[in-house]
């Protein structure tokens, strides 16, 4: 078992730890929600 290359939004990532990669991509997808909440509370 080794690293896996995947295409991600027009780029290629080399994945060594797949569960950790999915965690980071999930958190990245939540960024617009985080920015919205910060603007809503006046801290952004």
The pLDDT assigned to 20 comes to 86
pTM value?
A: 0.49
Residues shown for the chain? 44
Residues 6+ apart with CB under 8 A from 12: 5, 6
Taking the CA atoms of residue 17, residue 23, residue 29 and residue 34 in that order, the dihedral angle to the nearest 10 degrees is -140
For residue range 1-44, list pLDDT tens digits in order: 567 666 666 666 777 788 888 888 888 889 899 889 889 998 75
């Amino acid at each position: 078992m080794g690293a896996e290359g995947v295409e991600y939004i027009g780029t290629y990532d080399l994945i060594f730890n797949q569960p950790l990669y999915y965690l980071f991509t999930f958190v990245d997808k939540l960024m617009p929600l985080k920015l919205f909440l910060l603007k809503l509370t006046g801290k952004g």
